[in-house]
Structure 1
Amino acid sequence: MVRSRRLGDRRMVAAPRPIPDAVRATQARASDPAASAFVSANAGSGKTHVLVQRVIRLLLDGVPPEKILCITFTKAAAANMAERVFSTLGHWVTLDDDRLDAAIVEAGIARPGADLRMTARKLFACALETPGGLKVQTIHALCTRLLQQFPFEANVPARFTVLDERDQNEMMERANLAVLLDASRDPDSATGRALQIAMASAADVTFKDVVREACLSRDHFMAWTDSAGGTEAAAAQIGAALGVDPRERIEDVERAIVDGPNLPRSQWDEIASVLDTSSNADRKQADRLREALTLTGIEQVDNYLNVFLTEAERTPRATVVTNGFIGDNPAAGRLFEMEKLRITPLIERRRAVTIRDRTQALLHIATAAAANYRREKQERGRLDYDDLIDKTLAMLDRVSSGWVHYKLDRGVDHVLIDEAQDTSPRQWDIVDHIISEFTSGKGARDGVVRTIFAVGDEKQSIFSFQGAAPREFDSRRRGLERKFIDAGLKFDPVSFTYSFRSGAAILQSVDYVFRDEDIYRSIHAENAYPVHETLADAGPSLIEFWELQQPDPKQDIEGWRAPFDGLSLTSPEVKLAKRIQAEIRRLVESGTMTGHIGDRRPLRYGDMLVLVRRRGNAFDAVIQALKHANIPVAGADRLKLTEHIAIIDLMNLADALLLPQDDLALAVALKSPLFGLCDDDLFKLAWQRKGSLREALNHHAAADNKLKDALSRLEKCERRFVTETPFAFYAWLLGGDGGRKRILGRLGHEANDALDEFLELALGYERKAPASLQGFVAWLRTADLEVKRDMEISRDEVRVMTVHGAKGLEAPVVFLVDTTSSPSDTQRLKLVHLPRGNAAPDAPGVVVWAGKKADDPAAVAAARATMLAETEHE
């Protein structure tokens, strides 16, 4: 658990903190509009403040707003930065001369005069009136604007639209379905045979996930296929990488395994009888042999191999039969040992051939699905997020795009990049094109200083997520520094060392953890360890390490008494969750103080942040413990829409309206907050009814006011849903009929996010499909929709979320829950990248579809271990 201070609730105006002169000087250097700068900023060191400050100083320096380009990592960050710029400029308009001078000095300009004050007061209107406004946007928004501006040069549809994640999932589902239907119509085709192999290798859901991953893995799987020259050439490379003869078939290898000279199949029963005369371990081997004899095909091979391989790791047994058996039957013992030596290389060949066939099957299906996906995008004039980057970079790379470069060069004089450590190499390449003329030829125009500013922190990188490569941060810094200095331009590498957020104990603890050079160098390219310093007024801070929770002794529970799902009350996760809940209550009820010196206040529930690595048992246990203790909690930061109880109720109501004979759907709807019936009411309706539940409701309503109200509301729904669109129907149900109020009354305000997303989806569905309730509900059930809740909203509630989801947030008290869990699961690796061998360094390597770790051939096992080591390193 980490306790520190925060900058205060955004709704409160906190007293300004005294900032050391050294900090102000460093911030002024970083925001100097006359110099390019590359800033390495520790967490909580004020990088967003300096970004805003640099934009304002550029505007004060006379730079037109349209000549400034700010690139952020998320839309929320872009909106936040733009809001802070406009808020500052708008505030300046209201200040008198003395206070405005002080504000300008605060921005980094030493001696403002009357002219500068006049300029400052005009900036708000100037920024507002700029066509298109301030260009503060994500890299994808920038690419969208460029492609829309130059569709002919980029070879994209002139009025293209961008696929969001939801539409992309739907389009990929259709692409996959078309391939599967083609394969099922012609089982003897290449795709048909590939589907049979693939389906035999994985469950339906797993196979669908692998195909999607392969289709969207443009930098790996699809890049390798394209570089190989097509599907057949790539298929040949798989066998070569695994050391498998292209003529070798899996049936031949499996036949060689069971038809050996040492233990012929015709003698398995006889050999088993001999084993029966020995120890228990040998009798188990006899049972395995007899079981294999009763089977055929792959099952027989697998069961025969059970004699020679361990059950869990699937590695060769140290001893196949016992020493006692060997002593009594030396000849048979030698046969077993010879057979183990014979089949060991065959097992390796079988594994390699299996992965080759499985990957070749995936290759045929994924390339066909990817072709369908690209075709539909082209027909509908759509681009996905990867297309935006690829098309923009391809356009800028072409020699014939001089006109594009000319327009870019005339449109941007200053580029600012936020979260530079999470900028992928391809995104950096786009930035390089934009600033390519800043230091050369006429691009370095007389009288115009053109700059780049980037700020980031390698230690905060999201690593491989979305292609981020934190090593690029240092590489690009060095490259840009060399480029600008060689051109005689000022370039200032700056480091922010002071923390406005954390106390001394926390920073010292972080330094202690990373005191080992090997650990430090794993996250940072610099030779010198960064300095972490606190402000003089930082409040007290503390780090507590709790002992690990151990599970209670396991008790035998009869099957019918065992819980259907959920965690045991004695599990470590539940016990830890209860301790966290108790500690949160103690901190708040005891009036523990927080805040920096001069701005102290008691802790609130909204000051607590509980972080987990992944949403799993510990995540759910903490939320449940807080709810059971009546501690206000914001709920999950992400939720599956169709798994939320309020949405389940809305969909069941639709089912009941569409099919009045669906008693279960109607019962669920009636028991929901929409109608408010209880179990006793439903029992009264359902017990000994002669017809449907709907007919029983009609029958009993006259004698029961509660049932009468429910029937009246149901009849209103029945009249409306046949004439109104899904959005209009649900908008009335949740709004005019008061459904939202009743749902929130029972489920709490966190249901608001799910209901808002539900209505938005209903409205969006009507724009792209016939507006029918049946179609909407069917589409909703097949879509894998996730709602991302805004956890930055200031409420007096405990927040529980993942570490990545909390990026950019802060809180006085932070609980780190599952710090001892493994950061990765090698069993989840589906696509494994094999070494490139003698290929060019930038050539995509062969990618194979791996199965269980225990079934890896040597080449795949080594590649998996390398990928795991890289993940652990991150």
Structure 2
Amino acid sequence: MKNLLKALDPGQCDAATLFSNGIAAAGAGSGKTKVLATRYAWLIMEKNLKPEEILALTFTNKAVSEMYSRIYNFLLEEQKDNPKAQEALKLFHKARISTLDSFSAQVGRIASRRYGISPDFSSDDQGIKELARDSALRFVLDHLNDPAIQRLLEENKIKKIAEDIFAEIVLEYSPISSPLDFNEELELQKKEITLAWKEKSGAADAIIELLISETDRLGSSVKSIKASQKLTEIFAGKSPPKTPDINPLLEDKSPSPESRQEIAEYFAYLSEIIAVAANFGNSSDFTLIEENFKTLKGNIAKKDGLYFELESIANYALQFSITSGIFRLLKIFQEEFNEKKRASGKLTFNDIAHLAVDALKDHPDIRKVYKDSVARIMIDEFQDNNKLQRDLIYLLAEDPKREEKGIPPIECLNPDKMFFVGDEKQSIYRFRGADVAVFRGLGNDIFKGEAKAQGSISLNHNYRSRPNLIAAFNKIFGNLDEGEDDEEGKAGGVFLPINDSLPDYEAIYRRIKPPEGSAKETESLVHFCFLDSGRLADNDPDGTSSQDLEAAFIANKIQTLIQNKEKIPERAKEGAIAWRQCRYSDFAILERSYTHQQALEKQFRNFGIPYNTDRPAGLFSDGPVNDLKSYLRLLVYPQDRIAYAALLRSPFMRLSDLALSICMLSPVKEPFSEELDKDIPKEDLQLYQSAREHYRAMKEASRSLPLTELLTKLWYQEGYRYETLWQESSQVYEGLFDLFFEFARNIEGRGKSLAEFLDYLEDVISKEEKPDDMDIPSEDGTGVRIMSIHKSKGLEFPIVFLFDCANSGNNKASSGLITNHEKWGISLKLPQANELPLEGDNYFRRLQRAEEKLKSTAELRRLLYVAMTRAESRLFLTLALPKQNNGEREANNLTNNEWNADKIRERLSQLNAKDSDSQSSFLKLLTPIAAKDLGSLCTIEAIQVLSRKEILFLAAPFRDKSRSDADKTKAAADARPFYEHATLIEKEEVQPETLSASKLHISTKTHEPAENNAPPATDAGNYSISLLEKAGLNAADFGTIVHAVLEGTLNKHQPFIPSRIVSRLEDEKDLAVILEEAGRMADKFLASGLGIKCLASGFCEPEYPIITAVTIGDRSIPITGQIDLLYEDSASMVIVDFKTDKVENPEDHYEQLAVYQRAVSDIFGKPVKSWLYYLRSGNAVDVSDQAEMISIEKAAEAYCAEVMLR
């Protein structure tokens, strides 16, 4: 253990060996994972704890894996000299190291039955999202005549109301174990509205009274000031109206016309006052009038005055019937939807997190089990959590004797059970619910007096970045110079100064230090690179944007650093520093959003830079994926002319423009029709006929192949992948296929069809869906990494470029119809009441917006910190400065001068002098600090404005030379001898892992046929099958429909028809016809002898799954199957297998029934009878004896041999 502790610095050692409750503030690169792993080992070896007694929780599976591995290796190192480490390794399979989500699910399963939820629930956010949207739309349609819905429909579409209000609320704010109490929220809002109106109207009345008295006092002198004169005219013309009472409006019944008229008159008077221009001159006599007038009026554009607060309160009251009506409907919908979730067995992560906390909070017996089993809790990355996760930890750490329900008060927490690690400066997941205020509040919660000094530990050494980078971080973020003491209240850098009034949503920045003994550096390692947007041509024919120029600058800088063999330090295990030449994989480009990533990728291709990204830009606008999408669309929708045109010219088909024109202009609508063979140019005819052959083969394959197999076939077997390998600059397109394939895999995993996959893609393209959470692992780690800042958290890179720092993100007001305030609950976007002259809004949404603006800026500071501290050796930031306005140009026109560091600082000083209350970009945060001369810490570089031609000229020496079709032909000819003489690799014979009962059919007849004296099959079902075949389906799909109808009839619910079938049937009438015919067949069976006995049975199970096994050689191979119908007769179990075969050959199914018979006999220990029931004819064939005579082992061996020959 001494060796492990010796490798830590004093702060790390204090954290690792703390035995009381503790909080470790671990900055970027501070070695927190090492500290946690050492602490875990210390608790085992020094405090005699077992692995199962320590609960270690973190945020991601990757972090769990890293922590697990690090702890295990530490114990391995210590096992020789420490018996406790040896014992811990033996018990390490019991170690409780997991994500918070995983642990919550474990707790939730224990208590789920108490909340009416099956313990085998699964987490499926996407599935629940789809269910919520569908359910919400149906619910709104069912309540379309409700007055509240009707009022919202005046400004919104039905779908928006359904998704933005009903679906959004049950998904985001209404967990299944603790649903929202809408009645309580409504009463809370009514109370606040009453109090707010009294306060704000009282303030407005006082201002009006003051304005009247002051203009009256000043007498004739007001005429010299236009604004005062206008106010005097208003006051002389009419007396102020009586302040309305809004309480009558806050009732479910519609407010009286008199109440509405009072409101209208009151605001007509106030709006006339604030319409006066606020020009009171410079006389001190009018200062009091001016101050109060501006308080009332505020800024009309920003709607931030007292008047607008009053309007928002009044609008809520006037439209109260909408809020109360929607809340009443939400209460009904919430109950219905939660029942659907219970029935589906699917929950969201939010459901599971609340279920765990509610279970521990409401059930002391469950809580006791967990409290007693956990001696110590360690939780990592706690800045990414919120009040709910904090409550979970508090419940686990409460006094063992406490048994009351609810969250334990602070005084009831165990004094030595909790250890939190986090960094408030790296809390950047507010969009996922993270709340930095919770982490900041931990110290006040847990520590008192001396305990705070002992248990609150700061890990303030950065072992990641070079010393001069660290010095730059201190200056940029904290305005801290080297050798200067930290000073509370000092003007901050990017972060705000430390003082008692600092809001709890703001992070505190304290000095970070390099490792002890680090060599001092003088080289500038932070580079601010500025572009003057005013120098861009207004009418550039190439449309070159500032992002294009930033991207070209980055690409050129990377190639220059590679060419100049830039040296970067690399820390060896023993701590020594070695210098090596940089590689492409040492560079990372970080971006706030993906909006302009396409500019980066375009310039990287121009400059011949290999790169990889977890989310390629222009996914559906670039060729490969667009061609794949077009091919898939044409398979499902043969009449889609746009898809057909795209496919004709794609590398799949390679037809000429002339052939394309002929196909598009022809009245023949069938793709690749033989009718056009005579019109297609000779040089294209062979390609056209080959295209037809391939298309029809793929169309047939699409009827049976899973979606992912179909995509694999298109990409590999159809040869498209090799187009992307032909040139180095095109190889990045392989990443596009990986992402596209991941989309398909997710959709396929949810049981969706090809048509539904195409619908999903349209949602992605139209940005209704944003697949931000997809992580596509790259097979090639040699290129430059392009990623979002959020994805980079926890990673480190030698050289970092922070791209597009002037990007303000999405700062538009939310277009959603609801917001959720932590205190006041759900608030709606209400239409403007007719009685209000300006913009009413909703008082609670207004409060939320003001808070959100401040919190967003606070998080932007933290996001910049995370981005910059990813750098180990060197950091570049590219920033586009806005154009000068007329006033700035008159004071100092910078556009006509050379763009250099001095001119850049002058422009920054101009921008810094502006009074801006909006800090929506990294540029705005950095402007005050970058305008200073930062000496050797940072340099300022100029990004020059170049034309597209100049960029290509700059990139020419690095660019990959393109290859012609002649090159391809020659390469193919050169490669032919190699492939012709290549040795074929013999594939190892591998038997299947599992077998399906329905496939064990021996082709040669070796058994006696069953007696079948029933009449032959009729034409029943033929018409339905013809409808299915017209839609690209087949007879087997008709069998699936009949089975579904039978299963629905027996279980008394609507039949579930697979979406892959429904989506192919474009005409709903066709589906109705098919279901009707399937229903007749089902009824015919139920009226038969077998059906009557089934209905009379006490045990009747459709779709009964079975599993049995056979031994082949020395292997036991499972055989699975699903019995269409199993019921219990008086003395036996009866198997019924439904068939839609047109030709009835019972012997084709003996092996399948033999497996079923064996499994049922083993399960129930009773005699078994097996029947084939032919749905078309109604014939029932007893095959019990024939199935009994079958050797399942021989059938399995024959099948395995056949598989291995394929």
TM-score, normalised with respect to structure 1: 0.71
Give the stretch that moved more between structures: 233-242 or 792-801.
233-242
Q: Secondary structure at the match of 2:787?
A: strand
How much does 1:196 deviate?
1.9
What pairs with 1:514-593 in structure 2 (closer than 5 Å)? 514-515=478-479, 516=490, 519-521=496-498, 529-537=510-518, 542-552=525-535, 555=538, 568-569=543-544, 571-593=545-567
1:786 paired with 2:771, answer yes
Residue 227 (structure 2) aligns with: none
Per-residue CA distance 1:772-799 (angstroms, 9 max, x = gap): 4334434554572515235798712222
Residue 340 (structure 1) aligns with: none
Residue 347 (structure 2) aligns with: 383
* C-alpha separation in 2, matches of 1:635 and 1:691: 40
Residue 84 (structure 1) aligns with: 70
* C-alpha separation in 2, matches of 1:75 and 1:354: 47
1:656 paired with 2:634, answer yes
Residue 625 (structure 1) aligns with: 603
Change (3 A) 1:861 1:427: closer
1:174 paired with 2:174, answer no
1:318 paired with 2:280, answer no
How much does 1:672 deviate?
3.8
* C-alpha separation in 2, matches of 1:360 and 1:215: 17
Change (3 A) 1:65 1:644: farther
Per-residue CA distance 1:640-672 (angstroms, 9 max, x = gap): 977776554334323212333333222323444
Residue 196 (structure 1) aligns with: 153
Residue 829 (structure 2) aligns with: 849
What pairs with 1:801-812 in structure 2 (closer than 5 Å)? 801-812=787-798
Given candidates 672, 685, 697, the residue that maps to 1:716 is 697
How much does 1:851 deviate?
8.2
* C-alpha separation in 2, matches of 1:844 and 1:261: 29
* C-alpha separation in 1, matches of 2:820 and 2:705: 56
How much does 1:431 deviate?
0.6
* 8 Å Cα contact 1:38-1:455 kept in structure 2: yes
* C-alpha separation in 2, matches of 1:183 and 1:251: 30
* C-alpha separation in 2, matches of 1:402 and 1:861: 41
Residue 74 (structure 1) aligns with: 60
Residue 118 (structure 2) aligns with: 157
* 8 Å Cα contact 2:612-2:780 kept in structure 1: no
* 8 Å Cα contact 1:420-1:454 kept in structure 2: yes
* 8 Å Cα contact 1:463-1:470 kept in structure 2: no
Residue 593 (structure 2) aligns with: 614
* C-alpha separation in 1, matches of 2:814 and 2:645: 39
What pairs with 1:2-21 in structure 2 (closer than 5 Å)? none
Identity %: 20
Q: Secondary structure at the match of 1:177?
A: helix
* C-alpha separation in 1, matches of 2:720 and 2:256: 62
Given candidates 758, 777, 781, the residue that maps to 2:743 is 758
Change (3 A) 1:739 1:191: farther
* C-alpha separation in 1, matches of 2:847 and 2:111: 46
* 8 Å Cα contact 1:194-1:362 kept in structure 2: no
Q: Secondary structure at the match of 2:102?
A: helix
Q: Secondary structure at the match of 1:723?
A: coil
Given candidates 757, 779, 784, the residue that maps to 1:798 is 784
Per-residue CA distance 1:16-75 (angstroms, 9 max, x = gap): xx9997943433332238555421111011111222222334444553322222111122
Instruction: Considering Cα pairs closer than 8 Å and 6+ residues apart, tell me whether 1 or 2 has the greater RCO.
Output: 1
Given candidates 19, 31, 39, the residue that maps to 1:46 is 31
Amino acid at match of 2:699: E
* C-alpha separation in 2, matches of 1:790 and 1:233: 46
Residue 773 (structure 1) aligns with: 754
Q: Secondary structure at the match of 2:801?
A: strand
TM-score, normalised with respect to structure 2: 0.53
Amino acid at match of 1:175: S
Residue 56 (structure 1) aligns with: 41
Change (3 A) 1:481 1:205: same
Residue 287 (structure 1) aligns with: none
* C-alpha separation in 1, matches of 2:37 and 2:162: 47
What pairs with 1:429-508 in structure 2 (closer than 5 Å)? 429-437=391-399, 451-462=417-428, 464-482=430-448, 492-508=455-471
Gaps of 5+ in 2: 199-245, 280-304, 404-413, 480-489, 571-575, 860-1206
Amino acid at match of 2:593: R
Given candidates 370, 392, 396, the residue that maps to 2:356 is 392
* 8 Å Cα contact 2:639-2:669 kept in structure 1: no
Change (3 A) 1:395 1:794: same
Residue 338 (structure 1) aligns with: none
* C-alpha separation in 1, matches of 2:264 and 2:378: 64
Given candidates 141, 159, 184, the residue that maps to 1:229 is 184
How much does 1:764 deviate?
0.9
* C-alpha separation in 2, matches of 1:473 and 1:737: 54
Q: Secondary structure at the match of 2:118?
A: coil
Amino acid at match of 1:627: R
Amino acid at match of 2:388: R
How much does 1:674 deviate?
4.2
* C-alpha separation in 1, matches of 2:607 and 2:829: 47
Count the aligned residue pairs: 722
* C-alpha separation in 1, matches of 2:415 and 2:268: 83
Change (3 A) 1:572 1:811: same
How much does 1:413 deviate?
1.9
* C-alpha separation in 2, matches of 1:864 and 1:191: 24
Change (3 A) 1:59 1:637: farther
Residue 28 (structure 1) aligns with: 13
* C-alpha separation in 1, matches of 2:418 and 2:123: 28
* C-alpha separation in 2, matches of 1:697 and 1:66: 74
* C-alpha separation in 2, matches of 1:24 and 1:485: 22
Amino acid at match of 1:547: F
Give the stretch that moved more between structures: 349-358 or 708-717.
349-358
How much does 1:396 deviate?
1.4
How much does 1:205 deviate?
5.5
* 8 Å Cα contact 2:636-2:755 kept in structure 1: yes
* 8 Å Cα contact 1:75-1:137 kept in structure 2: yes
Amino acid at match of 1:805: K
* 8 Å Cα contact 1:422-1:463 kept in structure 2: yes
Gaps of 5+ in 1: 1-17, 93-102, 105-111, 263-304, 310-314, 321-343, 442-447, 836-841
Give the stretch that moved more between structures: 776-785 or 801-810.
776-785
* C-alpha separation in 1, matches of 2:183 and 2:700: 61
How much does 1:433 deviate?
1.0
Per-residue CA distance 1:468-513 (angstroms, 9 max, x = gap): 2223224323433459969xxx964322121111122222222223
Per-residue CA distance 1:801-855 (angstroms, 9 max, x = gap): 33222211211222223434446725237578799xxxxxx85357342789983
Amino acid at match of 2:156: M
